[in-house]
Amino acid sequence: MYVGTLSFDLLLGDVRSLKEKRSVVRPIVAELHRKFAVSVAEVGDQDLYRRAEIGLAAVSGDPGHLTDLLDRCERFVAGRPEVELLSVRRRFHGAHDD
How confident is the model over 12-33, as pLDDT tens digits?
988 899 999 999 999 999 999 9
Looking at domain 2-92, its CATH superfamily turns out to be: TT1725-like (3.30.70.1120)
Separation in Å, CA 31 to CA 18, 95, 97: 20, 29, 31
Separation between Cα atoms, residue 4 and residue 56, nearest integer Å = 8
How confident is the model over 34-67, as pLDDT tens digits?
999 999 999 988 888 899 999 999 999 999 999 9
Reported pTM: 0.88
Res. 96: pLDDT tops 80: no
Mean pLDDT of 74-88: 94
